Homo-oligomer: A and B are copies of this chain.
Amino acid sequence: MANFALKYQSTLGLITLTGIEVDTLVIALVKTSFTTIPHSLPVMDFVITIDPQASLPLHRQVYEELRRAILSGRLAPGQRLPSTRSLSQSLGISRATVIQSYDQLFSEGYLETIVGSGTFVAHQLPDDLLRVAPITSTPSATSSSIPLSAYGQSLTDRAFSRLPELEAQINFSYGRPAYDQFPINLWRKLLSRHCLANLDVLDYTNSSMGYRPLREAIADYLARSRAVQCSAEQIVIVGGSQQGLDLITRLLIDQGDWIAVENPGYLGARRVFLAQGACLFPVSVDQFGLVVSSLTRGIIPNIKLIYVTPSHQFPTGALLSLPRRLELLAWAQNSGAMIIEDDYDSEYRYGERPIPALQGLDQGNSVIYVGTFSKVFFPALRLGYLVLPDNLVDVFTRAKWLADRQSSLLEQYALTDFITEGHLERHIRRMRSLYDQRRQTLVESLFAYFGEKVQIIGENAGMHLMIKIHTNLSDGEIIQRAVEVGVGFAAAHSNYLKDSPSSEFILGYADLNEQQIQAGVRRLSQAISEN
């Protein structure tokens, strides 16, 4: 096949290739167009292949190629075909052959003609043709036998199958802010402001760390509001906290390394750790957050990372107390472990004491601080950040380059303005007050309808609370009964790595108004009390 030579011609926009040595394949790039859509769409490129040496007659091959294209949808109803003259020239075959193919397709209902306009794929294809499976000329595909990597194999575990998304009229799903309260018009204005044909916003950034003014704005904001001590040089912008956790795990964890996690704890993080082959060491949680003393009692493996959610422990809502914070930092210094501080929901505290971030209390380089804007803005905004010890900045920047080079630059520009012009803190203040009302409504409703039968856990922060219902029903029965009356929420048990209790549920309230919250709790109490 080494002497493969090429001859090409270009006629009426049709381009043909004849492979001399192989001498069996003729390929044409065919231009077709839609005419049924009001503002006529552009001509579209479309490739067909025939084989002059094959036993199947040429007109049959053209017929098969076009029919397959129609059935597979590559040629859509209403799309114009090239003229028989163009196609014959393009394929280097006689026009009579093409006419024969077209006639066959026409007679079978695949094509229709409009006088003075040309030949089109029929708008209404024969029903029986659409009912059969699409034909293919290739033999049925053999399954790829390539084995997955260890990482890939770990993902096929059923622990990674996602729970079906709840569909309910009143959905207490968690992690969802009040979408209708986000100043979307302002966001649009900020995006538009930077939507300019200039190199800066369209090009690759010169650093995968992210847009520098954004990193500066974040450093300022964190210093003010969370007592985080960092410069812009320690911040790497990532695609949400999820990418942050993934990069941390890839860069610091090998198969078999130990990671301590809160029990219960955030499943999204645990999955990342497990996928990377980490062994997980569960540490229990009480009303003051992680029970740090568990890390120094009994037989403890050599822990390399510990993952904590100190501002609003997920899902219990506990705030990690100051003594526990200091104790955790001291433990990390002594043991050489790194702390991943996932400070999600730190924005929302209701009438409660602020406690500085672990990162700001740290006297060494033991903390990687993970933050995200997905919860304060909206989840589809995939922007978060890592605050790193100086000695890790370089390797994280390289890993970010390899992972996806950079996060959406336009959104980084808009976010910078949103922060520096004061909209972020204004929005947080508004939401804090709104969520506080909604939280109070939820707490009051729960007591009103459930009374003694409900115990509320961790209600003083964040966008959700956890409840324990005293009942004989199983978790599945409760969820099912709730769904039947149009109420959705999640059981807490999948967040436990061990000692999973029943009857614990997570109720998000940020995106529900007071009427919805009251109605949801009422319906729920009725559904559960019925036998």
Whether B404 pairs with A380 at a CB distance below 8 angstroms is no
Closest B residue, CB atoms, query A357: B47
Q: Which residues of A pack against B, CB within 8 Å? A: 1-2, 4, 6, 8, 10, 15-17, 19, 21-22, 25, 27, 29, 32, 39, 41-47, 49, 69, 72-74, 76, 136, 138-139, 141-146, 148-152, 155-156, 160, 162, 165, 176, 179-182, 184-185, 187-188, 191-192, 195-199, 201-206, 220, 223-227, 229, 238-240, 242-243, 246, 250-254, 257, 271-272, 275, 288, 293, 304-305, 321-324, 326-327, 333, 336-338, 351-356, 360, 363-366, 378-382, 389, 391-392, 394-395, 398-399, 401-411, 421-422, 425-426, 429
Q: How far is the CB of A19 from chain B (nearest CB, A)?
A: 5
Residues of B with C-beta under 8 A to A293: 2
Residues of B with C-beta under 8 A to A27: 322, 353-356
Q: How far is the CB of A98 from chain B (nearest CB, A)?
A: 19
Copies per complex of this chain: 2
Residues of B with C-beta under 8 A to A326: 1, 22
Complex Cα gap A188–B410 (Å): 11
Q: How far is the CB of A358 from chain B (nearest CB, A)?
A: 13
Residues of B with C-beta under 8 A to A220: 73-74, 76
> With A74-B224, A195-B191, A288-B4 given, is the CB distance from A408 to B395 under 8 Å?
no
Whether B195 pairs with A322 at a CB distance below 8 angstroms is no
Whether B184 pairs with A251 at a CB distance below 8 angstroms is no
Whether B398 pairs with A380 at a CB distance below 8 angstroms is no
Instruction: For A429, give its contact among B42, B304, B407 (CB under 8 Å).
Output: B42
Q: How far is the CB of A160 from chain B (nearest CB, A)?
A: 5
7 residue pairs bridging A and B, Cβ less than 8 Å apart:
A19-B322, A42-B422, A144-B338, A149-B251, A187-B195, A243-B404, A410-B411
Whether A149 pairs with B253 at a CB distance below 8 angstroms is yes
Residues of B with C-beta under 8 A to A240: 404-405
Instruction: For A74, give its contact among B8, B223, B404 (CB under 8 Å).
Output: B223
